[in-house]
């Protein structure tokens, strides 16, 4: 595995692979790798000639009161894990490399942003699409990999790729879960023992909502109640439970097409998010 | 020459050329081709394996009171001229092809825009960078060609390429002129006979300013006067005369580095623009 922190080095390497017509799988991360990232890298490994991973804590996607400075970093461990997972090129630029000057042109996300977690993080997705535009141009990937645990991020990136005709394929990878269903997350270690026992209720609640819809329940309020009921049995505080179309993230008049049920729940020291995404056939369409 | 209006056809063709490792020269236009465009296409022809030209009157770069509907179009003549000049692929999408949905993400030019012609056309360059981002992703050019007659456009595109690390080379082509120095423009036909005789004064004025600087005149007001003096001898009305750094388009404290002197002058039925861009050595640096 080659570790590069300068753009010109990365570009030289990419150029060599392009000459050989290699397919390039790209996994953009902010580092502090966990099993979610590694699952993305493994998928990229299986589907491409070479795998590029970037580790860049992007200041532009942190709000003024967010934790850019204290965001966890462990480059040594990350390098080891990336290498073990089969990453070929690890790109680790510093902030000056990625943002040399004050920007001349800014990007603003107008849709899919003012809901779910994005509602409380104004500007967050503007920072995400800006850094990804830069990274996509540098890495020139055939396939890019993102986890569906952050389903809103995937929805925004999907919009960006379609809007601007990026010539690449977005691979959204299902959430990796513990045996009891809890979505894997670096934040799970902050749960108390009791909370850890309660936490699988989030996924259970979401699946209960999904099952109800699949069995024919089409009253959104009723589904909302079913999900809420289950989560209320934990000691967590519900931040939101939302049901939208996916990936448009728009309110649903009718429960058809691709649907997301998503939730965020605050425990004492950790805020957990989870979601389920599933297809609801039109009436007339057959259930599969 | 192949004429394509659908994105998927264009992408198929580009993919074939990429497989053959062909270099791609790209000339984006709004059509109604004149000698300026053809000079760009010839340059692209000389420097690349294949030449792609786009003809797309981009609604996003027209203001509400501007002439999007009445912008001149002549596709038959354009096709003939493009073919004669050696264009391989002519891309002629309609508006729905380029803007399928309401945009999810917008781009805003923050620098190099609120001066010269951009000052009176708010949003114009936002539309330019948006459509070029799309076109660059579709055409995947090695080299893109723009004329320096619209020096501000070149400056904004330069910023966009640098900001977002577009993997392509911007070739800025010097303004094509009539024998008497008048910059070629489709609008010159709207000049009366007398105005046509007066019009070369614009370039003469700009060159007078440039010569003064090169001879050591470093008082910006004095240079401004020299240029103005010459243009005032025409019947045209001066819209602006400006002196900036180039391509930053920022006011100059000291006349050093790359400098642009630009002007816009209104005649009875035509508004003409022109500019000169030249390098002023630091004191200490030798004049060349």
Question: What digits encode the pLDDT tens for the residues A70-124?
Answer: 888 899 999 999 999 999 999 999 999 999 989 999 999 999 998 998 888 899 9
DSSP annotation of A186 reads G
Nearest-by-CA chain A residue for B126 = A105
Same domain, A84 and A17: yes
Same domain, B107 and B249: no
Q: Whole-angstrom Cα distance, residue A4 to residue A8?
A: 9
Same domain, A257 and A227: yes
* B257 has a chain A CB within 8 A of its CB: no
In this structure, are residues A125 and A39 in contact, taking their beta carbons and an 8 Å threshold? no
Same domain, A155 and A79: yes
Q: Whole-angstrom Cα distance, residue A197 to residue A10?
A: 45
Q: Whole-angstrom Cα distance, residue B24 to residue B22?
A: 6
Which H or E run includes A145?
strand A143-147
pLDDT in 10s for each residue of chain B, 288 residues:
999 999 999 999 999 999 999 999 999 999 999 999 999 999 999 999 999 999 999 999 998 888 788 888 899 999 999 999 999 999 999 999 999 989 999 999 999 998 998 888 899 999 999 999 999 999 999 999 999 999 999 999 999 999 999 999 999 999 999 999 999 987 888 999 999 999 999 999 999 999 999 999 989 999 999 999 999 999 999 999 999 999 999 999 888 999 999 999 999 998 999 999 999 988 655 554
Domain end marker among B150, B173, B196: B173
Say if residue A198 is preceded by a cis peptide, omega within 30 of 0: no
pLDDT at A195 over 90: yes
* B16 has a chain A CB within 8 A of its CB: no
* B20 has a chain A CB within 8 A of its CB: no
Nearest-by-CA chain A residue for B19 = A21
B31 is in an annotated binding site: yes
Question: Is the Cβ pair B104, A159 closer than 8 Å?
Answer: yes
Task: Look up the CATH number of the domain holding residue A246.
Answer: 3.30.1300.10
Same domain, A86 and A158: yes
A27 pairs with which residues across the strands?
A53
Question: Is the Cβ pair B167, A104 closer than 8 Å?
Answer: no
Partner-chain residue, chosen from B19, B112, B165, that has the shortest CB–CB distance to A137: B165
Same domain, B260 and B121: no
A187 is in an annotated binding site: yes
- Substitution target in A17, A23, A163, A166 with the highest count of B β-carbons within 10 Å is A163
Average pLDDT over residues A277-285: 81
Model ipTM value = 0.92
Domain that holds residue A226: 186-280
Same domain, A41 and A119: yes
Domain end marker among A121, A141, A173: A173
Residue B287 included in any domain: no
Task: Look up the CATH number of the domain holding residue A166.
Answer: 3.40.50.620
Residue A179 included in any domain: no
Residue B52 included in any domain: yes
Residue B84: half-sphere exposure toward Cβ, Cα within 13 Å: 12
Contact list in A for residue B160 (CB cut-off 8 A) is 104-105
| Three-class secondary structure of residue B65 per DSSP | coil
Q: Whole-angstrom Cα distance, residue A8 to residue A14?
A: 10
* B112 has a chain A CB within 8 A of its CB: yes
Nearest-by-CA chain B residue for A111 = B104
Predicted confidence at residue A186, as pLDDT, reads: 77
Residue B234 included in any domain: yes
User: In Å, what is the CA distance from B167 to each residue of A11, A165, B139, B158?
Assistant: 9, 15, 12, 12
Same domain, B87 and B29: yes
Same domain, B156 and B14: yes
| Three-class secondary structure of residue A116 per DSSP | helix
- Substitution target in B17, B54, B103, B104 with the highest count of A β-carbons within 10 Å is B104
Partner-chain residue, chosen from B104, B109, B156, that has the shortest CB–CB distance to A163: B104
Question: Is the Cβ pair B167, A111 closer than 8 Å?
Answer: no
Residue A180 included in any domain: no
Residue A287 included in any domain: no
The burial of A252, by beta-carbon neighbours within 10 Å (0-12 exposed, 13-18 middle, 19 or more buried), is given as middle
Question: Is the Cβ pair A110, B105 closer than 8 Å?
Answer: yes
Which H or E run includes A41?
helix A35-47
Same domain, A132 and A248: no
Contact list in A for residue B159 (CB cut-off 8 A) is 104-105
In this structure, are residues A51 and A27 in contact, taking their beta carbons and an 8 Å threshold? yes
- N residues, chain A: 288
User: In Å, what is the CA distance from B245 to each residue of A21, A211, B249, B257, B262?
Assistant: 42, 64, 5, 7, 11
> Which own/partner pairs from B208-211 qualify as long-range (CB within 8 Å, at least 24 positions apart)?
B209/B243, B209/B261, B209/B276, B210/B261, B210/B276, B210/B278
Same domain, B162 and B201: no
| Three-class secondary structure of residue A7 per DSSP | helix
Find the catalytic residue in B37, B169, B279, B287.
B37
Work out the pLDDT band at A285, boundaries 50, 70, 90.
low
CA-based torsion, B7, B9, B13, B18: positive or negative: positive
Domain end marker among A127, A150, A173: A173
Q: How many domains does chain A contain in total?
A: 2
Predicted confidence at residue A13, as pLDDT, reads: 98
- Give every CB contact of residue B112 below 8 A, 6+ residues apart in sequence: A104, B118, B125, B152, B155, B156, B159, B247, B248, B249
Distance, C-alpha B235 to centroid of its chain: 26
Q: Whole-angstrom Cα distance, residue B136 to residue A31?
A: 30
For strands A50-55 and A24-29, give the pairing.
parallel
| Three-class secondary structure of residue A173 per DSSP | strand
Question: What digits encode the pLDDT tens for the residues A12-52?
Answer: 999 999 999 999 999 999 999 999 999 999 999 999 999 99
Contact list in B for residue A156 (CB cut-off 8 A) is 104
Question: Is the Cβ pair A163, B137 closer than 8 Å?
Answer: no
Residue B195 included in any domain: yes
What are the tokens at B188? Answer: 């010159």
Question: Is the Cβ pair A140, B167 closer than 8 Å?
Answer: yes
Percent of chain B having pLDDT more than 90? Answer: 85
Same domain, B151 and B211: no
Question: Is the Cβ pair A134, B19 closer than 8 Å?
Answer: no
Closest Cα of chain A to B229: distance in Å? 35
Question: Is the Cβ pair B104, A19 closer than 8 Å?
Answer: no
């Amino acid at each position: 595995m080659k570790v590069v922190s300068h753009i010109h080095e990365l570009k030289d390497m990419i150029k060599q692979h392009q000459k050989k017509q290699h397919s390039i799988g790209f996994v953009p991360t902010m580092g502090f790798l966990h099993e979610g990232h590694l699952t993305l890298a493994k998928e990229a490994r299986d589907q491409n000639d070479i795998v590029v991973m970037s580790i860049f804590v992007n200041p532009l996607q942190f709000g003024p009161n967010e934790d850019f400075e204290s965001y966890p970093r462990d480059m040594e461990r990350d390098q080891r894990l990336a290498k073990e997972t089969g990453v070929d090129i690890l790109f680790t630029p510093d902030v000056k490399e990625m943002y040399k000057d004050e920007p001349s042109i800014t990007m603003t996300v107008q849709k899919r942003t003012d809901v779910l977690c994005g509602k409380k993080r104004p500007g967050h997705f503007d920072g995400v699409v800006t850094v990804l535009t830069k990274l996509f141009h540098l890495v020139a990937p055939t396939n890019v990999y993102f986890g569906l645990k952050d389903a809103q991020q995937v929805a925004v990136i999907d919009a960006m790729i379609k809007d601007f005709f990026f010539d690449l394929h977005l691979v959204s990878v299902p959430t990796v879960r513990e045996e009891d269903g809890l979505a894997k997350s670096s934040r799970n270690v902050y749960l108390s023992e009791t909370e850890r026992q309660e936490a699988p209720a989030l996924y259970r609640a979401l699946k209960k909502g999904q099952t109800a819809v699949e069995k024919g329940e089409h009253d959104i309020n009723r589904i909302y109640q079913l999900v809420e009921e289950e989560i209320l049995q934990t000691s967590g505080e519900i931040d939101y439970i939302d049901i939208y179309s996916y990936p448009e993230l728009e309110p649903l008049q009718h429960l058809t097409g691709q649907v997301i049920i998503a939730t965020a729940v605050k425990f004492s020291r950790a805020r957990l998010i989870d979601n389920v995404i599933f297809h609801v056939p039109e009436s007339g369409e057959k259930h599969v």
